[in-house]
């Protein structure tokens, strides 16, 4: 290869490394979210996978639902209601076409996780959050909580899932 080609390969490799580097956990010292007063639980990004989904429409995301140990074990045992201490984290990323994958598959079919959109949390504490089915709710984007208006909408939206303890996501085996 020419010297310029070597240089371009090196730059591409560095860009790949930078793009792939990512921190392991949330920041526990950030501002709590409104109404329920929830902070980002440290280490949530390390939790186990409950399931995945795609929300089209205004969301246009790919999402993963992660659970802490209490959540994951309750899901696997089929335990309802979820015990106090359950935390469920819904991570959402932009729904992005992968041209690179499409070339490999030979057709336009591949959609991958792009930039992060936000995270949402449900924390079970049947005493503290008795007014909202035992659950506290929170939404964060780039470590910053969403506003109070957003947090007023969480529980009403989850009420239709009351028979499953207000949780929509099912476990993906």
Shortest distance, CB of residue 37 to a second copy, whole angstroms? 25
CB nearer to a second copy: give 132 or 169: 169
Cβ nearer to a second copy, comparing 31 with 46: 46
Distances in Å between the Cα of 112 and the Cα atoms of 49, 68, 109, 117, 160 are 17, 24, 10, 13, 30
Stretch that binds a second copy, among 14-22, 31-39, 123-131, 133-141 (CB under 8 A): 14-22
* Per-residue b or e along 55-77, where b marks 16 or more CB atoms closer than 10 Å to that residue's CB: eeeeeebbbbbbbbebbbebbee
140: enclosing H helix or E strand: strand 135-141
Answer whether 151's CB lies under 8 Å from 36's CB: yes
What is the distance between the alpha carbons of residues 102 and 73, in angstroms, rounded to a whole number?
A: 37
Q: Which is nearer to a second copy, 10 or 28 (CB)?
A: 10
Does residue 4 bind a second copy (CB under 8 A)? no
* 105 near a second copy, judged by CB under 8 A: yes
- By CB under 8 A, name the one of 112, 126, 144, 147 that touches a second copy: 112
State yes or no: residue 13 binds a second copy (CB under 8 A).
yes
C-beta of 143: minimal distance to a second copy in Å?
A: 12
Rounded CA separation 121/47 (Å): 13
- Give the one residue of 28, 85, 101, 143 binding a second copy; rule: CB under 8 A: 101
Q: Phi/psi zone of residue 171: left (φ > 0), alpha (ψ -120 to 50 degrees), beta?
A: beta
Question: Which residues are at the interface with a second copy (CB under 8 A)?
Answer: 12-13, 16-24, 45-46, 48-49, 51-57, 59, 62-64, 66, 75-80, 91, 93, 95, 98, 100-101, 103-105, 107-113, 116, 157, 160-161, 163-164, 168-173
């Amino acid at each position: 290869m020419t010297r310029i080609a070597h240089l371009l390969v090196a730059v591409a490799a560095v860009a790949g490394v930078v793009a792939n580097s990512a921190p392991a956990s949330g920041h526990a010292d950030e501002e709590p979210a409104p109404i329920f007063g929830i902070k980002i639980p440290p280490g949530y990004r390390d939790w186990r996978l409950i399931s995945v989904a795609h929300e089209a429409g205004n969301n246009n995301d790919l999402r993963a639902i992660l659970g802490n140990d209490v959540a994951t074990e309750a899901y696997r045992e089929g335990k309802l209601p979820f015990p106090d201490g359950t935390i469920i984290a819904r991570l959402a990323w932009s729904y992005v076409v992968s041209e690179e994958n499409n070339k490999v598959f030979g057709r336009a079919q591949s959609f991958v996780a792009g930039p992060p959109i936000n995270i949402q949390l449900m924390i079970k504490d049947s005493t503290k959050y008795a007014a909202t089915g035992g659950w506290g709710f929170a939404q964060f984007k780039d470590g910053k909580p969403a506003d109070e208006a957003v947090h007023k909408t969480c529980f009403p939206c989850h009420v239709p899932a009351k028979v499953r303890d207000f949780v929509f996501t099912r476990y993906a085996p």
